[in-house]
Amino acid sequence: MTLSPTGRLTPVRSFLPIILHSMTQSSFDFDLFVIGGGSGGVRAARIAAQHGARVGIAEGFRYGGTCVIRGCVPKKLLVYASRFPQSFEESRGFGWNVPAATFDWEKLVAAKNAEITRLEGAYSANLDKAGVKRFAGHARFLGPNRLAIDTPEGRQEVTAKEVLIATGGEPVMPEDLPGVELAISSNEVFDLPVFPKRIAVVGGGYIGVEFAGIFHGLGAKVTQIHRGPRVLRGFDVQMADLIVETYRDKGIDMRMNTTLKRLDRQPDGSIRITLHDDSTLDVDQVLIATGRRPATRNLGLETVGLETGKAGEIRVDELSRTQVPGIYAVGDVTNQVSLTPVAIRQGHAFADTTYGKKPWVADLDFIPTAIFSTPELGTVGLNEEQAMERCAVVDVYRNSFRTLKATLSGTQERVHQKILVDASTDRVLGVQLLGPDSAEVIQVMATLLRMGVTKRDLDQTMPLHPSSAEELVTMRTVAQRHIRKPAQ
């Protein structure tokens, strides 16, 4: 089998199906073996086991994967911590006299670690309850239906009728950058032994933007370096530019259209950054957050004839099947939509479809997502640029205001809201929110967009006053209308 450009599986001559099905089910140690104990792999293993499958799973680091161990969960805890100084300052406008606050990085890291350990235990316990056999080690293919697991006790070999690859992604470091060994990735940033008073964050994706805000909020002098003209490629351009504007107002040094030339350790222990124009910057830490790639190295994929794409991704169809029968993949390793909830849904759909006789496919439309910057960006559906490409006439509704809280707190930050509407059908195409609690509101908007909400539906909804969310149902004036010119 192979994948066509449309993602459909098409048959080709192969000896693999003969080998894969030459053994009876009882000949295998497991019906399913999952490589990777992150959110997608754990969900798939649990559900498959609950459907009666004999399931094994291997994880070479810690159960819970990137999201739980060194991703969205610890990141959000750091975001919470970073917002307290602003809250302390704003409280003065409401009559609070807050004494000089002090921050303890080591205490925060210890508290974060305790919570991560608790969550890891919950993941492992749920696997045990479901009857999944856990292995602590790196798993790789030895051949069709055969895997080796390199554990602390030594190498183990197992056989499985079917294998699910759910190894997630890993940070990309620029190996050709002189002095790159002095920098850290998003893996190490959560456990720095000493809080950096000066830090350079390299990269303009969501990880870079979030950590620039985190370290600034915690009191570091932050410089964000990005090779492009604007951050957050693929997100709404206006909202991305507003984040940069707000960051600059806060005092973050935003350096666009520049790259690193080299890193050098200085006698005082600091790191000197030389940029492409030969200007220099001395910092205590350099975080490189220039992207992630599918974690497909050292899996032995060549032994089963499984080829990866240009980014190293495992290509799958809508049912998570690879071009090799009996081998599946879900989550970030497929390089489709790198979000934890997507991996979980794909893993659940795979298990229900393959072992539960309840076929379904994870729906990748109207996925809500958030950038946990400060201010926070929440988005669902199309951004303005995408809407203009897909629809003949797009009505743009925009809103910008200071919150009621800001009238006493004194903050000048504004909330920005945008609703995109297909003028021919009145259907809402996308919603963009920038401001406090945007992630909470955008989750509800995702449900509405999936149900086909129209602008008229929003207009007829009673507002909840006073709230920032009420503005989403009180916008009446079209701020801009985009009319796509017909092709010549």
By annotation, the residues acting in catalysis are 465
Nearest CA to 243 out of 95, 364, 414, 121 is that of 414
Separation CA 72–CA 454 (nearest Å): 32
Residue 482, beta-bridge partner list? 394
Residue 253 has φ and ψ, to the nearest 5°, of -80, 100
Separation CA 225–CA 272 (nearest Å): 14
Residue 224, beta-bridge partner list? 201, 254
Cβ 275 vs Cβ 264: under 8 Å: no
Calculate the alpha carbon distances from 488 to 33, 417, 474, 485 in Å: 55, 35, 39, 9
Calculate the alpha carbon distances from 318 to 165, 186, 270, 314, 407 in Å: 15, 30, 49, 13, 50
Cβ 273 vs Cβ 202: under 8 Å: no
What would the DSSP string read from start to end of 356-424?
SS-------SS--EEE--SS-EEEEE--HHHHHHH-SEEEEEEEEE--HHHHHH-----EEEEEEEETT
Cβ 386 vs Cβ 366: under 8 Å: no
The DSSP 8-state label assigned to residue 132 in this structure reads: P
Structure tokens belonging to residue 317? 């169809």
What pairing do the DSSP bridges indicate for beta strands 480-483 and 393-401?
antiparallel
Separation CA 446–CA 81 (nearest Å): 27
Separation CA 397–CA 393 (nearest Å): 13
Separation CA 145–CA 132 (nearest Å): 18
Nearest CA to 212 out of 242, 178, 254, 180 is that of 254
Interior angle at CA 344, CA 143 and CA 139, nearest 5: 25
Separation CA 174–CA 397 (nearest Å): 41
What would the DSSP string read from start to end of 436-455?
TTHHHHHHHHHHHHHTT-BH
